[in-house]
Amino acid sequence: MIAVESLTRRYAGFTAVDDVSFTAQSGRVTGFLGPNGAGKSTTMRVMVGLTAPTSGSATIDGVRFADLPNPGLEVGVLLDASAQHAGRTGREILTIASDTMGLPRARVDEMIELVSLTPTEAKRRVRNYSLGMRQRLGIATALLGDPRVLILDEPANGLDPAGIRWMRDLLTGFARQGGTVLLSSHLLHEIEVIADDLVVIGNGKIVASGTKEELLAAAGTLARSTSPRDLAHALEQAGIPSTIAGDGSVRTDADPARVGAVALTAGIALTELRSAEGAGLEDMFLSLTADTQREGVAA
Amino acid sequence: MTATIVPASTTQAAPVRRSARPIPTARLVKVELRKMFNTRSGFWMLVSIGVLSVIATGAVIIFAPDSDVTYGTFVSAIGLPMSVILPMIAILAVTSEWSQRSGLTTFTLVPSRGRVVGAKAIATVLVGLGSVAVAFAVGAVGNLAGSALAGLDTVWDVSLSTAPQIVLGDLVGMAIGFTLGVVLRASAPAIVGYFVVSLVLPGILELLALVREWFLDLQPWIDWNYTQVKLFEGATNTGEEWAMLGSTTTIWIVIPLAIGLLSLRRSEVK
């Protein structure tokens, strides 16, 4: 289990992570979401001791990462697949990590096979690797010590569709065996498919967290009519705030029955009326982080 | 803001904590030694030590006048390229973690950065000792071959008191490189920095000593090159000369290294 408590990290002039608290439970995949620069990577760096927190703490099963005697055996970390010595071969990178943890060399070959790098590829220098190959190598490094906890920053980046599917199965299986997985991604579809729990961060603050079902269910109602403007107006008259999305649908926090009643009273023919729960993670993400989006997306 | 996720159903108990033992320092040193030479640049550095030793030896055999075909000539000829390459090896051992960003993995696997840097220091000293041993050996072979080819008596004129000083001189150069690496944490600036303090700085201090008489007596106390050259010549003998070496070492290695280590331990690894 990963527990982050009141974590704050300030830099000269700005607060990258602002009083963030959440837990990632064992046996579950926790998705860590947020727009670019929201503080995901900083939070993850603090978790593994690469960045010192200004205040607050992050612990792995109650222990600070830096206090783990041999962290590689307990926590698998992949923060940046490109952060490797370009002049080293993939195999050497794994050998060094394996030697540091005190593992038998056979483990290196197992991992190379697990992440589907060919022996020839493993002998090439990382300079000549594609992003997807680096990502596979990074995942191999993270899994090398057979850890109980995985902390992965954008692990699906650069992977081909087969690789993404493989990664999904791998992480789901890892969690099913009782492991803890915290992964950040901006590939919302990926997170939606794989995550059990979600933590959404914007401008360094947590804007939402909970199980995926809870968060997606809270998305309210989606309604359509031939004249969205009239519908929105009728709802407003009834004291129900709503927004008109770009596709002409009207969204509101009220439940579908009330929206239907309002439409009936106003004499507006609805072409669609449903719980917005199927609206998906993308809409939830955009509305939750609307204030913090660079593009100022209308929620 | 606090938000705690409570899973809908906790199906599995937390796995039993494995009793991991701390990583022994000897293992870290072995890993750091491997890292120094398993990159392309590291590999060629190592090869160049061997190749340049042989070239320098050959050059002495071909070009040196008969009177100079002695062990001392071979050792100093080999020592020259080595005194440049060894500090580079020391610099890259430290800076590649930042310039190549491999530190992200290194310091995640071993969160105690002090221990990592310590292991790097030990590995650097071992490489220094090994390289100097190679230099002495190649020089000995060259001396035997050179004197035989020229039909001369083989002259062994490196005394047992001089040899350790030559070793120490090389280690001082490596320590300067290591210090620059720890302080600057970037390959290119550290290498440039090394050439500044080893080539530009001595000239400036020399000039200062020429034009300002009061500085003449002070120079041996603050010019590390001066004390290093004395070591290479095996001319550090009196207590005062050793004190001068101590003084330059404190100024150029001990103090900056301490400051660099403090900031390295606190800095963010990105």
pLDDT tens digit at each of 299 positions of chain A: 999 999 999 999 899 999 999 999 999 999 999 888 899 999 999 999 999 999 999 999 999 999 999 999 999 999 999 999 999 999 999 999 999 999 999 999 999 999 999 999 999 999 999 999 999 999 999 999 999 999 999 999 899 999 999 999 999 999 999 999 999 988 788 888 899 999 999 899 999 899 988 877 666 788 888 888 888 889 888 888 888 877 788 888 888 888 889 989 988 999 988 877 555 677 778 877 777 777 655 44
Query: Which own/partner contact pairs does B171-174 have at CB distance under 8 Å and 24+ positions apart?
Result: B171/B125, B171/B128, B171/B129, B172/B224, B172/B227, B172/B228, B172/B231, B172/B245, B172/B249, B172/B253, B173/B83, B173/B86, B173/B87, B173/B198, B173/B228, B174/B86, B174/B87, B174/B89, B174/B90, B174/B124, B174/B125, B174/B127, B174/B128
Instruction: Verify that A184 and A237 share a domain, yes or no.
Output: no
pLDDT at B205 over 50: yes
**Whether residues A58 and A108 fall in one domain:** yes
| Number of domains present in the structure of chain B | 1
How much of chain B exceeds pLDDT 70, in percent?
93
What torsion, rounded to 10 degrees, do the Cα atoms B222, B224, B227, B228 define? 180
- Please give the Cα distance from B159 to B144 (Å, whole number): 17
Listed in sequence order, the residues at least 6 apart from B260 whose beta carbon sits closer than 8 Å to its beta carbon are: B179, B182, B183
A221-225 and A270-275: which strand pairing?
A: antiparallel
* B27 inside 8 A of chain A by CB: yes
Give domain status of residue B3, yes or no.
no
Q: Helices B71-99 and B113-150: crossing angle, nearest 10°?
A: 150
Residue B155, in any domain of the structure: yes
Asked if residue A232 is part of any domain, the answer here is yes
B14 vs A contacts (CB less than 8 Å): 1, 26, 61, 178
B30 vs A: CB within 8 A: yes
Q: Which chain B residue lies closest to A88 (C-alpha atoms)?
A: B39
One domain, residues A159 and A31: yes
pLDDT at B9: 39
Taking contacts as CB-CB distances below 8 angstroms, the residues of chain A near B44 are none
A112 with A256, same domain: the answer is: no
Residues A70 and A163 reside in one and the same domain: yes
In the prediction, which pLDDT does B18 show?
Answer: 54
Report the amino acid identity of residue B171: L
Residue A26 inside a domain? The answer is yes
Quick one: pLDDT at residue A299?
A: 41
A242 and A267 assigned to the same domain: yes
With respect to residue B256, please indicate whether it lies within any of the assigned structural domains. Answer: yes
Please check whether residue B129 lies inside any domain of the structure: yes
What is the span of the domain harbouring residue B209?
25-265
Contacts of A117 by beta carbon, 8 Å cutoff, 6+ apart: A90, A133, A136, A137, A140
The 8-class DSSP code of residue B196 comes to I
Residues A175 and A98 in one domain: yes
Q: A297 lies in a domain? A: no
CB under 8 Å to B252, separation ≥6 — which residues? Answer: B176, B179, B197, B224
Whether residues A205 and A223 share a domain: the answer is: no
Q: Examine residue B13 and state whether it is found in any structural domain, yes or no.
A: no
Domain annotation covers residue A56? yes
In chain B, which residues have their Cβ closer than 8 Å to the Cβ of A74?
A: 18, 20
Please tell me whether residues A234 and A183 are part of one structural domain: no
Residue A298 lies in a domain: no
Are A200 and A226 contained in the same domain?
no
How many domains are contained in chain A?
2
pLDDT for A256 equals: 83
Cβ distance A226 to A272 under 8 Å? no
pLDDT digits 0-9 by tens, B91-147? 999 999 999 999 999 999 999 999 999 999 999 999 999 999 999 999 999 999 999
What CATH number corresponds to the domain at position A67?
A: 3.40.50.300
Do residues A96 and A239 both lie within one domain? no
Q: Is A132 among the domain residues?
A: yes
Strands (E), chain A: 2-11, 14-24, 29-33, 55-60, 63-64, 75-78, 149-153, 180-184, 197-202, 205-211, 221-225, 242-244, 250-252, 270-275
B9 touches chain A (CB under 8 A): no
Q: What number is the ipTM of this complex?
A: 0.87
**E strands within chain B?**
none
Q: Which structural domain, as residue segments, surrounds residue A168?
A: 2-211
Residue B159: pLDDT band by 50, 70, 90 thresholds?
Answer: confident
Please report which helix (H) or strand (E) contains residue B258, including its range. helix B255-266
Q: What is the pLDDT of residues B63-99, one digit of tens each?
A: 999 888 999 999 999 999 999 999 999 999 999 999 9
Residue A187 included in any domain: yes
What's the CA gap between B132 and A215, in Å, rounded?
A: 66
Q: What is the CATH number of the domain that holds A256?
A: 3.30.70
pLDDT for A69 equals 94
Q: B5 vs A61: CB contact, 8 Å cut-off? A: no
Whether B101 maps to a domain, the answer reads yes
Q: Is B227 a domain residue?
A: yes
Q: Quick one: A27 and A142 in the same domain? A: yes
| pTM: predicted TM-score of the whole model, two decimal places | 0.85
Give residues with Cβ within 8 angstroms of B140, minimum separation 6: B71, B74
- With respect to residue A299, please indicate whether it lies within any of the assigned structural domains: no
